[in-house]
Amino acid sequence: MRLRLLLSIAFLACPSIFPAHAFEVAEFKAGMAQVEVKNQLIANWNFDRVLEPSDDVILAYDNDPNVARRYQFRFCKGRLVGFEQDVRPSLRSLIITVNNYNNKYGQPFRVYSNTHVVSNGEKAVFALFWKDGSDTIGVKYIVLPNVEQMSLAFDAQNLCYPTPRL
């Protein structure tokens, strides 16, 4: 009884020690079971392809490049802990998204910028990350020789990989 009372007092006095919420994007919520994401939600979104490149990743996308729909789901011990969604890349989209996140979450806690050589040329990466409780929200912009990519990333704190995930 005393332990329950102490935990209640601790929760009321210091709610930040307990995660208040986890990310929720569209119908996808942190902590969802992997089978639920795959069977119930992805089937309803009518993606052209749903792949499982590993035990802890589901990739859903459309074949038509004009649609620009690609979702990546990352799992830890069968539960959703990471979600990444491609958006149509443009400088305008990047500026609007960063401005919106700055207004909502404050200045980013991490900025990542790097250029390196890959098999088909140079790859430039620019990413910004914000904290929302224990969650990490990110915007990534990647420039490759023949294509640009922009994605929004959401990661819940977990035991399987460190966040933010570059």
- 79-132 residue pLDDT tens: 999 999 999 999 999 999 999 999 999 999 999 999 999 888 999 999 999 999
With vertex at residue 75, the alpha carbon angle to CA 58 and CA 48, rounded to the nearest 5 degrees, is 15
pLDDT of residue 96: 97
Determine the average pLDDT of the residues in 59-83: 91
pLDDT in tens, 33-50: 999 998 877 778 889 999
pLDDT of residue 21: 53
pLDDT of residue 5: 34
pLDDT of residue 137: 97
Q: Cβ contacts of residue 22 below 8 Å, gap of 6+?
A: 29, 30, 31, 133, 134, 135, 156
